[in-house]
Amino acid sequence: MNGIIGLCHFCELHGPVILYHTQTLPTEKKDELIKSIQSGASCKSTPTCQACQSLHDDEERVLMSDEEVSSYVSCEFPPQSELHTALRQAAVRSLSCEVCPGKEGAIYFGDNARGHVISYTFFVHDSQARGFQRWYSIVILMRDQIYLLTLWHFLVDLIKDIVKQIQQSALKVYSEEQAKCSVRALRLNTLTLPQPESNGSSKPASSKLPPRPLTQLTANPKLYIKLHEQFSFILRAGGKRLVTVKPDSILPEDSFSPVVVGSGRLARMLEKLINIDDLYKVIHHIQLQHNVCIVGDPVGASELIGGFKAFIPPGFPCSATYASAEDGTRDDVKVLIYVTLHTTHKYKVKVKFLEVYRMYPVLEMGLEPLEVTYPTVTLKMISSVKSRVEDHVLDQLLSTLSKEWVGKARTFSAAVNQLSSNQLPAAGLSKQHKLLQALNGKDEDLPLLKAWATPS
């Protein structure tokens, strides 16, 4: 996952600071980043105290986890100035203004300029802190808003587990310290007894106690090694859980092929020759690639076939063919169309359906639906033919509609195949329906999407 995970702290002396972060890098760029960190080229420019530091001088300043393609590098500050600025801004906002109503929990904020952030704010018990607690946050910074928010539940659940472990360790230390000596009662006493300072002023004795680092609050000196493992796991698992893939064949290979000139004129000819109710049925059969036989005058049949081709995607074979009267009675033929030359340049067409016409969906008990519902693209195409747009505009309309829906068909087919291999049947059907809605499709579009997924 191409993002940064950071642990931030609101220091009583220095305000919001970045304690620790983990980022994903291509393996070949790892050495360059490590050199810049070890040379002291980090962006740490503000004064700090122990509570503002994670890895001290006597500790390893860089932690790494390598894989074949990516490496996960953890240190205090990103050496890249742009990333440091973005993470610093995220830290300030997560510990000041961008908090959820209960002050503890996850919240999203961000924009395209400064990045998109999921922030989880939480407190840790500290018997020496003001209010006996210190505020921290874990932030996940990414440039891709959709990717980040799609993984919201997955990421927040993992952060909750990390926070719970930290809080439990700190609560244990806090309880032990309170059991040895009631810090609350001691603080009330010491606040009434000012201690002289070297400059002649007076301060409560408790204020001399320096803020303690998180490793002391949790009694875990290896805390940041553990955090490196946990942050690396989140980045690794997030990248595998949701992978950005360029879909194959969203558009047909000939999507940018020239529009067939004259297809609109031929399609309008069909409207004049065939009854509108029969035209809907015939077009639907052809779009589902059912066999349609045309017998009679060969010239008239050729023009009919040219009109039918306007309603199917480029590169798809037209299931309407010219045949003899004997061939038209084959079992696989769904529709038989008789075309005869009525007068000069005018034809007479008669349509015969060779089986009971059933539209999708068919209800149980063999009953036909009360209202015939055609696929969306069929309705749009015939509506375009019936409109008053000019023929050359109609050519573009029909071509665009067919390419749009063949793209949807191939997207739907690829997603269904993926679901079938990874999901149980019931879950797969539910997600298929959601995918159909996302493509602005309806149940009556399913047979057409399956037929247009690949040219037969």
* CA-wise closest residue to 341 among 384, 380, 312, 302: 302
- Residue 311 CA to residue 296 CA, distance in Å, equals 22
H-helix or E-strand spanning residue 301: helix 298-309
Per-residue pLDDT in tens (0 to 9) along the chain, 456 residues: 888 999 998 887 778 888 888 988 877 776 777 777 666 544 444 556 777 777 655 445 667 776 766 888 888 878 788 888 899 899 999 988 887 877 889 999 988 888 999 999 999 998 887 788 889 999 999 999 989 999 999 999 999 999 999 999 999 998 888 888 776 666 665 554 455 555 555 444 444 577 788 888 899 988 888 999 999 999 988 888 876 555 554 554 555 556 777 888 888 888 888 888 888 888 988 988 888 888 888 888 888 888 899 998 877 888 888 887 666 566 678 888 888 876 656 778 888 877 654 444 433 334 343 346 889 999 999 999 999 889 889 999 998 898 889 888 888 888 888 776 555 555 556 777 888 888 888 888 988 998 888 766
Torsion angles phi and psi, residue 66, rounded to 5: -105, 145
For the residues of 35-96, what is the DSSP string, one character each?
HHHHTT-S---S---GGG-SS-TTS-S-EEEE-SSEEEEEESS-SSHHHHHHHHHHHHHHTT
pLDDT of residue 199: 54
- Residue 235 CA to residue 223 CA, distance in Å, equals 18
The answer to whether the pTM exceeds 0.75 is no
- pLDDT tens-digit readout, 320-340: 888 876 665 666 788 888 888
The beta strands (E) that lie in 265-365 are given as 291-296, 320-322, 333-343, 346-353
pLDDT of residue 157: 94
pLDDT of residue 432: 79
Classify burial at 52, counting beta carbons within 10 Å of its beta carbon; exposed 0-12, middle 13-18, buried 19 or more: buried
The beta strands (E) that lie in 169-281 are given as 195-196, 202-203
- Residue 456 CA to residue 452 CA, distance in Å, equals 9
Residue 54 token pair = 């994670």
H-helix or E-strand spanning residue 17: strand 15-26
Domain-wise residue ranges, the chain: 4-241, 263-451
Q: Are strands 320-322 and 291-296 parallel, antiparallel or unpaired?
A: parallel
Residue 14 token pair = 């220095």
Type of residue at 224: Y
CATH label, 263-451, candidates 3.40.1620, 3.40.50, 3.40.720, 1.10.10 = 3.40.50
- pLDDT tens-digit readout, 121-140: 999 998 887 788 889 999 99
- Collapsing DSSP to helix, strand or coil, 98 comes out as coil
**376-377-378-379 Cα dihedral, nearest 10 degrees:** 50
Question: Is the torsion defined by CA of 390, 393, 399, 401 positive or negative?
Answer: negative
pLDDT of residue 366: 40
* CA-wise closest residue to 377 among 448, 305, 433: 448
What one-character DSSP code corresponds to residue 113? T
pLDDT of residue 119: 94
pLDDT of residue 169: 93
- Residue 215 CA to residue 213 CA, distance in Å, equals 5
pLDDT of residue 43: 47
- Token pair 């960190």 is found at 37
What one-character DSSP code corresponds to residue 422? H
